[in-house]
Structure 1
Amino acid sequence: MPDHALRLILNNIKDPLIPIVSFARNESVYIDATEEGERSAWNKIQSICERLEELPPAIRHSVQSEDILLSRMYSRNENLNPVYDSRSQDFIRYPVAGRLENISETATTLFEKGYLLRSFFDRIHVCPQCRSGHLSVREECHACMSANISEEIVVHHFQCAYEAPESRFKTEAGLECPKCARKLRHIGLDYDKPGSITHCNDCGSINDKPSVGFKCINCGTHSRPDQVPARTWYAYNMTAAGLRRILEEREAPAASPDPRSDSFRVLLDYAQREQREFGSLYQLVRVTFANRPQLEAENARLWEQSLLLVIDVLQSTLREVDAFREEDGGFLILMPRTDAAGAHRTMARLAARLEAVLKVELGFSHSLLQASPTRSADERAA
């Protein structure tokens, strides 16, 4: 059965956890497993169904993507492991996730909450236009960006010091210098071949080395290397907290995520409690970069490198008791036991150091977020 037909059937069933096993070899993205023989297939289905029955009704019938993803991992007894798949626009697929969409984003959210652990899988360059992972990396002409290039050996004539591509020396009688018309008979005595050049067969341009370019197979967009962003992919394992989330009744107290998954939130909560108990001041500062959209569109690699330098500057400018985290291309900075004037002075030093270190103008600006009850501040920091 083709994928589109199977998809129509599954859309009518509307159960994202239903097990699907093929009796014959099948590479469909919707099938949980391919088993040889009917007995093996039914054993696989029975195993999945038994684990599905262990889930509380609130989880078994949940429509939240986080619950569905964790439930599929548990019922299939598999980790969330990515595989390369040329049929996917991302070039990466998570088989255990089935038809679930936005899997990487959902898994990242579960990781931040402490329900999943992750490990590096690969870093895939993506098209800046359509975000596809199907890119052709090719050598091309510096001038016209054509891939129709060829390599030519360079000939150096010792006597007159003329140097040019070998094709210019070739005649019916052998090699002859186009400058002085002398015959070139013995390599090492009359001439040598010190290297090669790249010749474009479309525009005729000559260069010592070809350029490198990216062409999207999906939408045809051509990009220079510094314009192509990269996306990091991870494999995920479920934690004990994740297991408790899907196996305990929903009415029970929610499992607390590992505090280490969000140390910034923990520090912010502590600073707020200090303010309530002892009147200690703290400042929560939002740093933004007005030029980020333009820089990211024109040169994604330059923006990524600039962001790394910003982090270095933050670490060297802030105190050891201060904390920061990235948020939407900017940063939230927590400064315990600091008044507003002190925060503004620190931000002025930060701006000066960024101007000295960076070669591009990021459009740095900052604002102090007004202190408020714990829940609201946490929501703003989330």
Structure 2
Amino acid sequence: MPAPASAISSVETKRILVAEDSAITQDLLKLVLTQRGHEVDIVNDGKEAFEALSQRDYDVALLDFHLPEMDGVKVASSYRTQFKDRQGPRFVAVTADVEGLLSHEENCEWFDRVVPKPVDISEICKVIDETQESRSENDPSPSSMSKGSESPKTDGSKGIPAVQPAPRTSPLFELDYKYLCYPEDFNAKHLSARALQSSLTQQQFDAILITQATGPEAFAQIWSTKTLHLLPIIDLVGCLTNEADLDCSKLAHDELNKVKDLIEDFHAKRVELHPDLILTDDLGEKIIGRLHVSGRKLTPKYHAGTPSLVKFNLTVPAENVIIEARKLQDSGLLHANFFDRVHVCGSCGSSQFNVREDCPDCHSADLSEQSYLHHFKCAYQGAESDFRQGDHLVCPKCRQELNHFGRDYDKPGTMIRCNSCSHTTSQPDIGFVCLKCSTRTDGDVIQTRDLFSYELSDRGSAFAEAGFAYLGITRTSLRFADLPLDLVIGLNEEAKRYNENGSTFSLLHISYENQREIEREHGPRQFAQIRSQFVENLRTVMNREEASGSSCQTYRGHTYDFAIAGGTQPDALRGQIDHYCREAGKQLRHDIGATIRVFGAEDLS
């Protein structure tokens, strides 16, 4: 939520350039970013932006695409071309014309990120907060590979990886579907214009094709970008094991129905998925959405190359899946089935061990097994090596030579001798030596972890279709992604008045529990009409019944609706909100299932 003007941000201060010709967007970005402790400069056109970038070092440059004098693409490309030796800022395109940006003659790949309008403040803040990590890698090019890795070949001055598309020989390309391809459209650091378009405009591609051998690490961009994780993954080269939804490395013409069925099933299940799960940035919620559209269980498979010793049928590191799945299980959204129990290093969490017998004294694994002798006359017992003198056996205690087995001595058993410290024992220790951090742990104190396969519970399936409203409004917090631009501006204006003179206000968050039911039975248009009428009725009722000096202004969101009630005490309004909700819904054709939660100024800090 927007912070009051007095809020002190704990984030690291960064220099930010905002190039924007809209006064409203300028005010919004400057207000929010300065409240978070950043230093913000505002310019009105592309020429001023280029001059500012030339004269001062910035951490982030937020550029509108359609700037006067010089558009945002030209500003970014001119800077990167003219100042190649500078590290430079992260360039972020902020535009309502995503398709125009993506089809620009210079493309949008001069930018590190693209954020569509209306401005999603949480996305802007996320980009800025990520800047320190990006700059610490000393990576001036948005598409360069990570530090320490081999630099890819590029297609010229832009520094964008030049990838040769794989031959289109599979029968799959005869089908009338649209595909994103690895590595042409994405890798661990880079998204192509087509992939950006899919995530930003929700232009629906039908599947992701793997056309070159790779590992799951290449899929980081899919899971960090909205909507792409909901596409089926089809492996054309056989490099993935159970991470792909379909292995088509040996696809024949008479097997094309497998591809059609997979893609159509994903289409049908995506339609059922609630926007909360489509637009979320939370990995756990993305996993819920992925399991819903794929119709698959979350299944582990043994893999010695991973620290957890397993891989799941997701293109997400197993360690991350385990953490998220456990939280989802605790929330009742996933049902777990036991798979196996593994040992875990207490220092680094890895399950990759060398398990061995070793010395109880020095923990060396340099052990040898030998017989131990019992001298009948003096009762001395010891390792055979202690008795051995050349070809003779001589008791080390009484110095008598032993000549006859069974009369002078016997061999009642064996013992273990450490060749490093000469310690002898009948029972060596079991030691677990971590292959990742080299920590040794005794076998009797080693930690264990149970591994599970998972499937959506009934509660998880309902959450996938109904969104946060199903969990109860108290289970979720407001997110910038759900807030309309004009609401963010209104909230900051109210917060400013609250800090200056104590003028109270309340924020109403409105959700609709019966949305899916009404849309299924009567269509989306019918629900939209009822929703609009409810919001209008609510505004009318509150403006009529609230005390003089108060006012109610409503705002339409993507998934939820909102209202700001100025001059109201939140606690008093909470006592009346059920009455207002009933009054607003009296004349509606269908019960919309409205639920309203009230926030006060103290809740928004």
| AA partner of residue 31 (structure 1) | A
Match status 1:2 vs 2:214: yes
Please point out which of 327, 332, 348 is paired with 1:114. Answer: 332
Contact in 2 for aligned 1:136/1:216 (Cα 8 Å) = yes
Q: After the TM superposition, which of the residue ranges 152-161 and 141-150 deviates more from structure 2?
A: 152-161
The equivalent of 1:184 in structure 2 is 403
Alignment of 1:139-158 (within 5 A): 139-158=357-376
State the secondary structure of the residue aligned to 2:412. Answer: strand
Counterpart Cα distance in 1 of 2:261 and 2:363: 56
Counterpart Cα distance in 1 of 2:284 and 2:222: 20
The equivalent of 2:233 in structure 1 is 20
Please point out which of 388, 410, 416 is paired with 1:198. Answer: 416
| Residues 10-30 of structure 1: CA deviation (Å, up to 9, x unaligned) | 479662222211134323675
* Structure-2 change in CA distance of 1:224 and 1:251 (3 Å): closer
What's the CA shift for 1:169? 3.4
Gaps of 5+ in 1: 257-382
* Structure-2 change in CA distance of 1:126 and 1:194 (3 Å): same
Contact in 2 for aligned 1:48/1:75 (Cα 8 Å) = yes
Identical-residue share of aligned pairs (%): 28
The equivalent of 2:187 in structure 1 is none
Alignment of 1:5-84 (within 5 A): 6-7=218-219, 10=222, 15-27=228-240, 30-35=243-248, 36-37=250-251, 39=256, 40-41=258-259, 43-84=261-302
Counterpart Cα distance in 2 of 1:101 and 1:90: 6
Q: After the TM superposition, which of the residue ranges 151-160 and 25-34 deviates more from structure 2?
A: 25-34
| Residues 37-95 of structure 1: CA deviation (Å, up to 9, x unaligned) | 15245543443343233323332332222321112212222212222222222223322
| AA partner of residue 181 (structure 1) | Q
* Structure-2 change in CA distance of 1:206 and 1:93 (3 Å): same
Contact in 1 for aligned 2:358/2:366 (Cα 8 Å) = yes
What's the CA shift for 1:218? 0.6
Normalising by the residue count of structure 2, what TM-score does the alignment of the two structures yield?
0.38
Please point out which of 341, 344, 350 is paired with 1:132. Answer: 350
| Residues 228-279 of structure 1: CA deviation (Å, up to 9, x unaligned) | 322222222222111111123x4854479xxxxxxxxxxxxxxxxxxxxxxx
The equivalent of 2:387 in structure 1 is 169
Counterpart Cα distance in 2 of 1:144 and 1:99: 37
State the secondary structure of the residue aligned to 2:291. Answer: helix
Contact in 1 for aligned 2:215/2:240 (Cα 8 Å) = no
What's the CA shift for 1:97? 6.1
What is the number of residues matched between the two proteins?
A: 255
Normalising by the residue count of structure 1, what TM-score does the alignment of the two structures yield?
0.58
What's the CA shift for 1:108? 2.3
* Structure-2 change in CA distance of 1:205 and 1:213 (3 Å): same
Larger Rg: 2
Alignment of 1:256-335 (within 5 A): none
The equivalent of 1:91 in structure 2 is 309
Contact in 1 for aligned 2:224/2:281 (Cα 8 Å) = no
State the secondary structure of the residue aligned to 1:16. Answer: helix
Contact in 2 for aligned 1:156/1:163 (Cα 8 Å) = yes
State the secondary structure of the residue aligned to 2:229. Answer: coil
Counterpart Cα distance in 2 of 1:132 and 1:226: 18
What CA RMSD, in Å, does the superposition of the two structures yield over aligned residues? 3.1
State the secondary structure of the residue aligned to 1:130. Answer: coil
Counterpart Cα distance in 1 of 2:404 and 2:318: 70
The equivalent of 2:451 in structure 1 is 233
Contact in 1 for aligned 2:273/2:464 (Cα 8 Å) = yes
Q: After the TM superposition, which of the residue ranges 159-168 and 46-55 deviates more from structure 2?
A: 46-55
Counterpart Cα distance in 1 of 2:318 and 2:337: 21
What's the CA shift for 1:134? 0.8
State the secondary structure of the residue aligned to 1:104. Answer: helix
What's the CA shift for 1:132? 0.8
| AA partner of residue 7 (structure 1) | F
* Structure-2 change in CA distance of 1:89 and 1:231 (3 Å): same
What's the CA shift for 1:162? 2.5
Counterpart Cα distance in 2 of 1:152 and 1:7: 54
Contact in 1 for aligned 2:243/2:312 (Cα 8 Å) = no
What's the CA shift for 1:148? 0.8
The equivalent of 1:214 in structure 2 is 432
Counterpart Cα distance in 2 of 1:199 and 1:227: 24
* Structure-2 change in CA distance of 1:156 and 1:106 (3 Å): same
What's the CA shift for 1:8? 6.9
Contact in 2 for aligned 1:121/1:234 (Cα 8 Å) = yes
* Structure-2 change in CA distance of 1:7 and 1:119 (3 Å): closer
Gaps of 5+ in 2: 1-212, 474-605
